[in-house]
Amino acid sequence: MPLKVALAQFNASVGDIAGNTGAMRSVMKRARALGAHVLVFPEMSICGYPPEDLLLKKHFLDDNRQAVEQLALDTGPETVIVGFAEPDGDISFNSLAVLQNGAVQRIYRKGRLPNYGVFDEQRYFRPGTEPLVMDIKGTTVALTICEDIWQLDWLGRFFKDTPPKDLLINISASPFHAGKLAERRQLFSRCARHFDCALAYCNFAGGQDELVYDGRSMFLDSTGKVVCQAKAFAEDLLIAEIVPTDGATSVKPAIATSAAEQMQPAEEIYHALVLGTRDYVRKNGFEKVLIGLSGGIDSALTAAVAADALGSENVVGVTMPSMFNTKETISDAEELAKNLAIGFHTIPIAGVLGKFDTVLSQVDGWDSAGVAYENLQARIRGSILMSLSNQFGYMVLTTGNKSETAVGYATLYGDTAGGFAVIKDVLKTMVYRLCRYVNEANSREVIPESTIQRPPSAELREDQKDTDSLPDYDLLDEILKGYIEQDKSAQQLADEGLDAAIVSRIIQMVDRNEYKRRQSPPGVKITPKAFGKDRRMPITNRYKE
């Protein structure tokens, strides 16, 4: 008999055990009504992922276990699989529970604990040592948690005595980065073929601090083919029938789904930014956001993302011109606000700047035309935005991209001041592509063409251009990608043909500005290595590349 399996790709909130289990109960009702025999929730569905040091609290772990036991009471003959943090005396496991007929029937403990990139699982958990392969209505099902199937050699040894004959289920909390979907598909396909069984993978859809779970849960048949795939960046309930036959296991999608379409990089990154921003703002209890609009491309993209994430009515743009801003940038800021139908304020800063300059001039050596004076303008803007934030309860979104963030081309407590840094992991060259994408997707000029065309400038002094102190962004981004994402040395980058002097100067800037990044707000991870938990560099660091 075919086994009807439903994957509950939902949006959990870290720590919100009551809210998560409430949402899970609703999905359980729906899946039952749809006749699912097995309902699968993602890794740590009870408490959200990653709970980080909440896992060091004994009462938090106890609450996890209790919530699973409570949820079990609501199950009937169908099998429900949930992920949770399992306390066991003084230690804990990253576990899944198999619920049925009002009780917890079986528990599987994750065998491989990732401790790289953004993951710290060996800080919290002991690895499990027992595989769990069970019969569900005549189908042999093996249960795994996330990392378990990313180490296929290990998994082969783990399942040596009890191979996953028909179906391998994997519950995950798999964060997005551009290109991750292709990695997953390749790996899952290899895994299905290796064990000659179907594979069901269930992921979250939602944002948690810097991470975005992109959904795209999927079923593969035993030939390694992706048969159907759930929505990207949204909740979904994906159902398929597993049909074990001699020699192969086929998968029949219950509803016709748009199976396997791949998004273009700009499209999927844009969606990740939207979901990550929406969830950070909403899950932290904010309705509206404020954005400083400079008339430049970074703040334009940030505002477009915010309007899509929260609705135009919840976004307020503020332009804060000084004497160094051109008419063009001021009018571009205004046009953008009009195009996006967001709120808009103009607050000139020259008066405040003048007063600051007066009091600072009391100190011998103050220079009313130097870098400190330039940074002061950014700090005045930061203070104005934060004052409005405090007054009205709106969150400030910052607008710095990854290229600037890397080399420290930003004023701490100025343009870095805010709650969430939407594009902090987006290199400048990708910012351009995303702006083009926004205009194409909307079939109109949302982001003014003049904003896209104008050479980038911080406009903190007369005739300033980014290229005064930085190389062209094409070159800069190539260096940054090699140095940050691939951990290449200056020597390696030079050997690849990049200008050695520029490489060396850029690497020094990246290293020296770690202290700024450490004080900057979180933002959406979209690359394989984002600043933050993903890349843990010492501030005090005298290593010479």
Q: In this chain, which of 258, 264, 358, 469 binds a copy of itself, going by CB under 8 A?
A: 358
**Smallest distance from a copy of itself to CB 320, Å:** 9
Residue 274-293 contact track with a copy of itself, rule CB under 8 A, x = bound: -----xx--xx---------
- How many residues of this chain interact with a copy of itself, rule: CB under 8 A? 90
Among 53, 69, 183, 449, binds a copy of itself (CB under 8 A): 53
Strand, coil or helix: 513: coil
Q: How far is the CB of 219 from a copy of itself (least distance, A)?
A: 30
Q: Which stretch binds a copy of itself (CB under 8 A): 54-62, 103-111, 158-166, 217-225?
A: 54-62
Active-site residue, selected from the candidate residues 47, 78, 146, 241? 146
Q: How many CB atoms lie within 10 A of CB 351?
A: 9
Q: Least Å distance between CB 13 and a copy of itself?
A: 5
Residue 138 gets the label, from left (phi > 0), alpha (psi -120 to 50) or beta, of left
Is residue 66 a contact point for a copy of itself (CB under 8 A)? no
Q: Which of 4, 43, 478, 516 is catalytic?
A: 43
Subset of 193-212 contacting a copy of itself (CB under 8 A): 207-209
Within a 10 A sphere around the Cβ of 370, how many other Cβ atoms?
12
Q: Is 146 a catalytic residue?
A: yes
Enter the DSSP assignment of 483: I
Q: Which of 4, 110, 288, 402 is catalytic?
A: 110
Element (H, E) at 66: helix 58-73
CA distances from 224 to 20, 199, 255 (A): 32, 8, 20
> How would DSSP label each residue in 99-144?
EETTEEEEEEE-S----STT--GGGT-PPP---EEEEETTEEEEEE
Considering only residues 490 through 519, tell me which ones interact with a copy of itself, judged by CB under 8 A: 491-492, 515, 518-519
Q: Which stretch binds a copy of itself (CB under 8 A): 22-30, 131-139, 363-371, 444-452?
A: 363-371
**Tokens standing for residue 229:** 């795939």
Strand partners, 459: none
Residue 294 in tokens: 């400079």
Residues 324-353 that bind a copy of itself (CB under 8 A): 345, 347-349, 351-352
Among 73, 259, 341, 539, binds a copy of itself (CB under 8 A): 539
Q: Give CA–CA dist 113/419, Å, rounded.
A: 31
Q: Per CB under 8 A, does 461 bind a copy of itself?
A: no
Among 17, 169, 242, 406, binds a copy of itself (CB under 8 A): 17
Residue type, 158: F
Closer residue to a copy of itself (CB): 174 or 439:
174
What would the DSSP string read from start to end of 11-30? ---TT-HHHHHHHHHHHHHH
Q: Does residue 10 bind a copy of itself (CB under 8 A)?
A: no
**407 lies in the binding site for a copy of itself (CB under 8 A):** no
Return the residues of window 138-167 that contact a copy of itself according to CB under 8 A.
Answer: none
Restricting to residues 218-277, which ones interact with a copy of itself according to CB under 8 A?
Answer: none
Beta carbon of residue 293, minimum distance to a copy of itself (angstroms, whole number): 15
Token output for 379:
């700090």
Tell which positions 20-49 bind a copy of itself, by CB under 8 A. 47
Q: Does the annotation count 197 as an active-site position? A: no
Closer of 367 and 440 to a copy of itself (Cβ)? 367
Evaluate whether 382 touches 262 at the Cβ level (below 8 Å): no
**CA distances in angstroms from 37 to 77, 78, 103, 244, listed in the order given:** 8, 5, 16, 15
Interface with a copy of itself, residue 456, by CB under 8 A = no
Q: How far apart are the first and last CA of the chain?
A: 62
| Residue number, 2 or 348, with CB nearest to a copy of itself | 348
Q: How far is CA 79 from the centre of its chain?
A: 31
For residues 475-494, which are near a copy of itself according to CB under 8 A? Answer: 487, 489, 491-492
- Asked if 469 interacts with a copy of itself (CB under 8 A), we say no
10 Å Cβ neighbour count for 103? 12
**What DSSP character marks residue 419?**
S
Q: How far is the CB of 250 from a copy of itself (least distance, A)?
A: 39
Taking CB under 8 A as the criterion, the residue among 286, 344, 413, 432 binding a copy of itself is 413
Shortest approach of a copy of itself to residue 280 CB, angstroms? 6
Minimum distance from residue 151 beta carbon to a copy of itself (Å): 15
Q: Among candidates 389, 183, 170, 385, which has minimal Cα distance to 288? A: 389
Query: Is residue 129 within the footprint of a copy of itself (CB under 8 A)?
Result: no
Q: How far is the CB of 89 from a copy of itself (least distance, A)?
A: 16
How many Cβ atoms are within 10 Å of 221's Cβ, its own excluded? 22
| Smallest gap from residue 84 Cβ to a copy of itself (A) | 14
Q: Minimum distance from CB of 55 to a copy of itself (Å)?
A: 10
Query: Which residues contact residue 443 at a Cβ distance below 8 angstroms, ignoring those fewer than 6 apart?
Result: none
CA distance 1 to 135: 13
Q: Binding segment for a copy of itself among 75-83, 140-148, 166-174, 387-395 (CB under 8 A)?
A: 387-395
Residues in 108-127 that interact with a copy of itself by CB under 8 A:
115-116, 120, 122-123
Q: Which of 250, 228, 249, 248 is nearest to 239 (CA)?
A: 228
The residue from 74, 445, 499, 545 that contacts a copy of itself (CB under 8 A) is 545
* 90 to 50, 86, 109, 123, 145: CA distances (angstroms): 20, 11, 16, 14, 22
Tokens 């008999």 locate to 1
Contact with a copy of itself (CB under 8 A) among 58, 190, 338, 436: 58
Give the whole-angstrom CA distance, residue 362 versus residue 359. 6
In this complex, which beta carbon is closest to a copy of itself, that of residue 137 or of residue 535? 535
One-letter amino acid of 404: E
514 counts as catalytic: no
In the complex, the smallest distance separating the C-beta of residue 382 from a copy of itself, rounded to whole angstroms, is 6
Residue 89 found at the interface with a copy of itself (CB under 8 A): no
In three state form, how does the secondary structure of 205-224 look? EEEECCEEEEECCEEECCCC
Element holding 505 (H helix, E strand): helix 500-512
User: Annotated catalytic sites, by residue?
Assistant: 43, 110, 146
